[in-house]
Amino acid sequence: MPPDSTQTADDRRQIESWPTIRRFLPYLWPKDDPGLRRRIVIAMALVLAAKGVTLALPFAYKGAVDQMSGVASGSAGEQALTVAAALVAAYALGRFTSVVFDNLRNIAFERVGQLATLHLAEDVFRRLHKLSLRFHLSRRTGEVTKIIERGTKSIGMMLYFLLFNLAPTAIELIAVGIIFYINFGIELVLATAVTVVAYISVTRWITDWRSKLRREMNDLDGRALQRAVDSLLNFETVKYFGAEHREEERYGAAARAYAEAAVKSENSLALLNIAQSLITNALMGGAMAYTVWGWQQGKLTVGDLVLVNTFLLQLFRPLDVLGWVYRTIRQGLVDMADMFRLIDTEIEVKDVPGAPALVVQRPTVAFDNVTFGYEEERTILHGLSFEVPAGSNVAIVGPSGAGKSTIARLLFRFYDPREGRVLVGGEDIAQVSQSSLRSLIGIVPQDSVLFNDTLAYNIAYGAEDADMAAVERAARDAALMPLIERLPDGFNTMVGERGLKLSGGEKQRVAIARTLVKNPPILLLDEATSALDTRTEQEILGTLKRVARGRTTIAIAHRLSTIADADRILVLDHGRLAESGDHGSLLAHGGLYAEMWARQLAESDEERAAAE
């Protein structure tokens, strides 16, 4: 099932903490790529080098000030000027060197971050395509897309802050504590330690509170996006029912809720900034006052004031953004946890370990005592058994809800039956690889959904290695060439989202051509003409009959006139095989099929009479 928001805060916190980081580490330190690991080592060495230079800079600054004040040399002569100038030059060079090290670090690490993001995104996308049809029928497309987008985007920030902000800041804190102890005694060390602990505690407390607000913003943002995507995908339905205002209100309610949550989040940020500033400036004022007192006592120099001020400014620079860093990391953990939960969604239909490829000599299809239902409390098929011989044309008919389309989904192994077996070529499809099974079956569905790409792309989608010659041949066999020759861009014509620039009959012909490119031994026609007008239906039926020659064909139909010439007709009723035979024998039997035929014949007569 799609990710939901029903977990408690404690559950989410547990998922979003160290387990999430441990799960992410293999993407950061890939076992099979020593080159990337070397880049990480180089980047960390550059971090340490930059931090070493940064820690040395205040001493150069202090020395220059002491030389200029005459404390160190006792005079303002040329020697003091030379030393001060050298120290100033060293200070400037050190700042430049620190910037160089930081940027070299970014250059060394950039590929690591991008590849970690790429590999994780690929894993998520691969997992989504492995999930069952049940998941994809119940998913919220906009929300799932947002989870993937936020999860992958959070990786780069997470890496940067964990490796290049938190770790160097911890090193600098320890180093500054040692320097303060050596130069100023334990008092300044304790004051700095208390301040840092207070700063981190307040930052964490407020940021945790803000994380709840941020999580609420994420949920509301996903809901607003889902409603927008759902509405736009169904824009025709919206217009059919004149529901534009209703959709605007529905989206507006979600957007307004998101805006309110965003206001709360931004206001809490202002509170965080004020609290942080109060703590840091209290330490700055106290430390500098302590240094001034030491100067007045003759224990410290003017340069010591500069030294303390510079070290604290350098220390506060990363601390000033600690709230943002901590919040970003926490939010990154939230986003990555959501994405990992998506990855962890149970795969309902799996290949058995070591599943072999299905190799078919005779493309037969059989259902052996199959029982199935989408929900436990509702069974669709009840012990259904039938066989489709190789090369035959078998039709499956029945009232709505009889289980006709369910047969197609089970044949493609979108679901596994509760009981019984589905056999192709005499092999249980649950014991072979899904990819090999689906490569042997072609389908022309009732609703032919196309990619928002060219006609050539949609036709060639039937086979990965299809060339233009195969595409043209399939288009010709599907009677699609008259349309293509009329179009200015020919095969390069864009079909629009879901193929909406084409008519129903044109989309069906593209679907037929796509199946011809695939060239499968088994063909499934799932009510392929039920949505078409009578003239287009007859044209498509003629094309389908040509396509079906020499293949094992299963036609699921609503209009009985389209399958009257089938070799065998299976009549389903409430998930059971009610009747079986050819058209003539079923009519002579006078059962359900004859009743359905008479009803459809009467409806056709009424339609013709109304038309006249």
Q: How confident is the model over 208-248, as pLDDT tens digits? A: 777 777 777 778 887 788 788 888 878 777 777 777 887 88
Helix, strand or coil, per DSSP, at residue 300:
coil
pLDDT value for 394: 92
| Number of Cβ atoms within 10 Å of the Cβ of 605 | 10
pLDDT over 80 at 579, yes or no: yes
User: Tens of pLDDT along 85-120?
Assistant: 787 788 788 788 888 888 888 787 777 777 777 777
CA–CA separation, 39 and 107 (whole Å): 9
pLDDT in tens, 340-351: 777 777 777 888
- Reduced to 3 states (helix: H, G, I; strand: E, B; else coil), residue 572 is strand
Q: Around Cβ 450, how many Cβ atoms within 10 Å? A: 23
pLDDT in tens, 284-299: 888 888 888 888 777 8
Which domains does the chain possess? 10-343 (1.20.1560.10), 370-440+525-612 (3.40.50.300), 447-519 (3.40.50.300)
Other residues' Cβ atoms within 10 Å of the Cβ of residue 412: 18
The pair of three-digit structure tokens given for residue 539, joined into one six-digit string: 């044209």
Residue 247 CB partners (closer than 8 Å, separation 6+): 231, 238
Provide the 3-class DSSP secondary structure of residue 441.
Answer: strand
Cα Rg of the chain, angstroms = 36
Helices (H), 131-139: 133-138
pLDDT score of 307 more than 80:
yes
As a whole number, mean pLDDT of residues 32-51 equals 80
Q: How many CB atoms lie within 10 A of CB 270?
A: 9
> Which residues fall within 8 angstroms of residue 564, CB to CB, at 6 or more apart?
583
The more confident residue out of 612 and 206 is 206
Dist CA 371 CA 364 (whole Å) = 20
pLDDT tens profile 473-489: 888 888 888 888 888 88
Angle at 443 between CA 440 and CA 447, to 5 degrees: 160
Q: Global pTM?
A: 0.61
Distance, in Å, from the CA atom of 284 to the CA atom of 102, rounded to the nearest integer, reads 27
Give mean pLDDT, residues 260-288. 81
What SS3 string covers 243-297? CHHHHHHHHHHHHHHHHHHHHHHHHHHHHHHHHHHHHHHHHHHHHHHHHHHHHHC
Query: Which whole number is the average pLDDT over 142-148?
Result: 69
Backbone torsions φ then ψ of 394, nearest 5 degrees:
-115, 135
Which tokens sit at 89? Answer: 């030059």
Spatial distance between the Cα atoms of 525 and 523, rounded to a whole number of angstroms:
7
3 state SS of 74: coil
Please tell me the predicted confidence (pLDDT) of residue 2: 39
Percent of the chain scoring above 70 in pLDDT? 88
Across 116-120, 121-125, 141-145, least confident range: 141-145
Distance CA 538, CA 529 (A): 9
The predicted structure's pLDDT at residue 570: 93
How crowded is the C-beta side of 511, counted as CA atoms within 13 Å?
A: 27
Question: Is 449's pLDDT higher than 70?
Answer: yes
pLDDT band at 16 (very low <50, low <70, confident <90, very high): low
At 351, which amino acid appears?
D
Query: Based on the number of CB atoms within 10 Å of its own CB, is 47 exposed (0-12), middle (13-18) or buried (19 or more)?
Result: buried
The dihedral built from the CA positions of residue 294, 297, 302 and 303, taken in this order, carries a sign that is: negative
Give the pLDDT of residue 372. 92
Sign of the alpha-carbon dihedral angle for 208, 210, 211, 213: positive
Average pLDDT over residues 52-75: 73
Q: What is the mean pLDDT of residues 151-178?
A: 77
Whether the Cβ atoms of residue 306 and residue 62 lie closer than 8 Å to each other: yes
Q: What is the 3-state secondary structure (H, E, C) of 353-416?
A: CCCCCCCCCCCCEEEEEEEECCECCECCEEEEEEEECCCCEEEEECCCCCCHHHHHHHHCCCCC
- β-bridge partners, 577: 572
The better pLDDT of the pair 447, 327 is held by: 447
Tokens of 421: 């077996």
Angle of helix 534-548 versus helix 468-477 axis, rounded to 10: 120
CA 325, CA 170: separation in Å to the nearest integer? 14
Q: In the prediction, which pLDDT does 107 show? A: 81
Q: Report, as an integer, the average pLDDT of 535-548.
A: 75
- How many CB atoms within 10 Å of residue 336? 24
Q: Which residue has the tokens 């609703």?
A: 447
Q: What is the rounded CA–CA span in Å between residue 170 and residue 191?
A: 17
- pLDDT tens by residue, 190-205: 888 888 888 888 887 8
Give the dihedral sign, CA 361/363/369/370: positive
**Can you give the pLDDT at residue 533?**
64
pLDDT band at 421 (very low <50, low <70, confident <90, very high): very high
Which stretch of DSSP H or E encloses residue 236? helix 235-240
Tokens of 238: 């919206």
Mean pLDDT of 274-293: 83
Average pLDDT, the chain: 80
Q: Give the Cα separation of 80 and 62 in Å (integer).
A: 13
Compute CA 10 distance to the chain's CA centroid, rounded to the nearest angstrom. 25
For residue 584, the surrounding DSSP H or E stretch is helix 583-589
Provide CB contacts within 8 A for 125, sequence distance 6+.
148
Residue type (1 letter), 157: M
Nearest C-alpha neighbor of 269 from the set 199, 323, 334: 323
Q: Can you tell me whether residue 496 is helix, strand or coil?
A: coil
| Residue 337 or 395, more confident | 395
Burial class (CB in 10 A: 0-12, 13-18, 19+), 133: middle
CA 450 to CA 598: how far, in whole Å? Answer: 36
Tell me how far apart the terminal alpha carbons of the chain are, to the nearest angstrom. 52
CA 225 to CA 231: how far, in whole Å? 10
Mean pLDDT over 29-46 rounds to 78
Q: How far apart are CA 362 and CA 391, in angstroms?
A: 8
The b-or-e profile of 287-309 (16+ CB within 10 A means b, else e) is: beebbeebeeeeebbbbbbbbbb
Contact of 552 with 391, CB cutoff 8 Å: yes
* Cβ neighbours around 362 below 10 Å, total: 11
Q: CA of 392: how far to CAs of 292, 568, 580, in Å?
A: 100, 8, 15
| Contact (CB, 8 A) for 404 and 556 | yes
In whole angstroms, how far apart are CA 520 and each of 444, 510, 516, 553, 598?
Answer: 12, 16, 8, 10, 35
